[in-house]
Amino acid sequence: MRKIIAATFVSLDGVMQAPGGPEEDPTGGFKFGGWATSYFDDVLFGVIGEMFDRPFDLLLGRKTYDIFAAHWPYVTDDPIGPLFDKVTKYVATHRPGSLTWKNTKPLGDDIPGAIAALKREDGPDLLIQGSSELIQTLLAHDLIDRFQLMVMPLVLGPGKKLFGDGAMPAAMKLAFSKVSTTGVVIASYERDGEVQTGSFAMETPTEAELERRKNLA
């Protein structure tokens, strides 16, 4: 069975939009494209290199596919270019006929169903890069097994967020963590059952507490 891994650059306030450059995704008036570039160091490059050293296929939304297809096939001085050429790229798109990058397969109309079927197959893990809209679909259907987060030390305000309102509640466990020299917190979280709740409240609530509860909106 294959696992789905969301490898995401994210700000402290959860924004994942356009980490790589100003023209990457300026939609919605986003003004900070390229916000992740100044935080790269040998530690971060090393973690990314280890991630790409393991067998994987790519799982992409259409917008991220278009960004990658306009860039990586033309890169000859970075091993990621030939690597991304070689792996299978599964793409969520309503325009399957326009997928021209080699080794690319459309997911079809039933995106959650197609991805659930891919997970049941034998093969390499499915690695999500970017693809904020696709991630929301997967979160709503509880299909992501691991989050490989690279949390940059900045706040961006408005922008496309990693976790939207439709995310299904889920417990996670920390599988790996490291901090770069530039303050990036690199953390890998794996799915770990359901959310467990408890209470620090007094066993017998005070009259003030009962009044407070009564006045809650």
Q: Give residue 164's pLDDT.
A: 87
Beta bridge partners of 89: 58, 104
Report which of 113, 105, 174 is spatially closest to residue 143, judged by C-alpha positions. 113
Distances 53 to 33, 46, 57, 70, 211 between C-alpha atoms, Å: 27, 10, 12, 23, 58
Radius of gyration of the chain (CA): 20
What CA–CA distance (Å, rounded) separates 149 from 6? 8
Helices 111-120 & 132-140 angle (0-180, nearest 10): 80
- All domains of the chain, ordered by start, with CATH? 4-214 (3.40.430.10)
For the whole prediction, is pTM greater than 0.85?
A: yes
Q: Give residue 170's pLDDT.
A: 92
Summarised one tens digit per residue, pLDDT across range 34-63 is 999 999 999 999 999 999 999 999 999 999
Report which of 138, 146, 81 is spatially closest to residue 107, judged by C-alpha positions. 138
